[in-house]
Amino acid sequence: MPKRPTFAFMIHPIDPKGDVRRRYPLLAKILPERLIHFLSGYWPPVKLSHIEGVQSQATGETIEGWLVACPLTPQRMRTSSLDFVYRKIIQTGRLAERLGAQILGLGAWTAAIGDAGLTVAKALSIPVTTGDSYTVAVGLQQLRQAIARIGLPWEGLTVAVVGATGAVGRAAADLLADQVERVILVGRRPRGVARVREALTATPRRAEVEATTDLTRLREAHAIFSATTAGRAIIQPQHVRPGAVIVDMALPRDVSTRVSRRRDDVLVIDGGTVLVPGPVDFHFNFGLPRGWAYACMAETMVLTLERRFECYTIGREIPKAKVLEIADLAAYHGFRPAPLTSLGHRISEARWARVRQAAQPRPGAQEEPP
């Protein structure tokens, strides 16, 4: 019998207390959060679990993998030198090599830090992928699904992309610029976001593409796609217009929980979750329902099912063709965007109805001025 294709996926603690509790309940109880951030720098890489039961619906083939953890929290990554963070990620990658993985997926900030996988890939003997191509595909599918349910025409939308200078944001904006009426690129560095605008408009686009660093301009958008590494809530209730749909791709989340709590006329969707084909068991609870995974994990699984052991997505410039290709391959093997959720919960019919009503243009009402 030929050996099953194998993969590993790297995660790291995002919510220090909650994530550490899943593996070390006692430590989480006694250590204050501040100390968890600090100590995470001294912790070794950890094999979290063996993943079984991912099975292609198209070929019937089953693959196996491992979840490995880089111990660093987002705060520890942000406050440490890049060399130190690379060393920890590479050490964790070496653990994946020793386990026998043929490809390694980088999760959350291990993919976003520094040059987005390039240095890590050079240091390892197995290929590496960030999973950002499929993340973009899934986030846009989720946005499209929500907009259809609300009854707005996709082609007429103004969509704001927050974190437009990043890998996920830029690639999403690139695709949206061919589909909707207006794209507002939101960044925090005026020159950075202007450069992305220049690159995206070097060829004619369907959408008018604008660049800004002003978060208050989110009020002009029917839909918001947010993907930053701010590490804290940057989108607040006053930033969004009635009827807006926000897909929050970021981990930790970009959108304040106050938006959902205080604005029942707005929908905040948990971005980037998918259903995995087959009787999958991760043997580890990373915070999603059974059978669900993050899109970045799923990209690694799709490549493994395809035996495409290559550095598929690395670096910050993701070609549109890769987003479209991985979406097709994922659908072929039976991966699907998960049912839409908000703050981890199903969205009630009443909420859909409220947002749908708020999103409808009122006769005689003016659009928000820029």
User: Can you give the binding site for ligand NAP, defined by CB under 6 A?
Assistant: 108-109, 111-112, 116, 131-132, 135, 163, 165-169, 187-189, 192, 227-230, 234, 249-251, 271-272, 294-296, 316
First and final C-alpha spacing in the chain: 63
The identity of residue 103, as a single letter, is I
The identity of residue 147, as a single letter, is I
Smallest separation (angstroms) from ligand NAP to the CB of 170: 8
Smallest separation (angstroms) from ligand NAP to the CB of 175: 14
Which residue lies nearer to ligand NAP by CB, 93 or 243? 93
Q: Are strands 6-11 and 104-106 parallel, antiparallel or unpaired?
A: parallel
Tokens of 343: 């703050």
Which residue lies nearer to ligand NAP by CB, 152 or 269? 269
Which residue lies nearer to ligand NAP by CB, 221 or 358? 221
Smallest separation (angstroms) from ligand NAP to the CB of 229: 4
Smallest separation (angstroms) from ligand NAP to the CB of 313: 9
Which residue lies nearer to ligand NAP by CB, 13 or 243? 13
Helix %, strand %, coil % of the chain (to 5): 40, 20, 40
Smallest separation (angstroms) from ligand NAP to the CB of 158: 20
In the block, tokens 């590490």 appear at 231
Which residue lies nearer to ligand NAP by CB, 101 or 173? 173
CA distances from 170 to 70, 192, 268, 315 (A): 26, 11, 20, 12
Smallest separation (angstroms) from ligand NAP to the CB of 142: 10
Tokens of 206: 């369907």
Smallest separation (angstroms) from ligand NAP to the CB of 24: 23
Which residue lies nearer to ligand NAP by CB, 140 or 359? 140
Residue nearest to ligand NAP (CB): 166
Which residue lies nearer to ligand NAP by CB, 188 or 320? 188
Beta bridge mates, 129: 105
Smallest separation (angstroms) from ligand NAP to the CB of 320: 15
Give me the helix-helix angle, 295-305 and 132-150, nearest 10°. 120
Which residue lies nearer to ligand NAP by CB, 238 or 357? 238
Smallest separation (angstroms) from ligand NAP to the CB of 273: 7
Give me the helices (H) in the chain, please: 16-23, 25-30, 33-39, 74-79, 82-99, 109-112, 118-123, 132-150, 167-176, 190-200, 257-262, 295-305, 320-333, 349-359
Using only C-alpha atoms, what is the Rg of the chain? 20
Which residue lies nearer to ligand NAP by CB, 126 or 186? 186
Which long-range contacts (C-beta less than 8 Å, at least 24 apart) are formed by 322-326? 322/133, 323/133, 323/134, 323/136, 323/137, 323/171, 323/175, 324/137, 325/133, 326/133, 326/134, 326/137, 326/299, 326/302
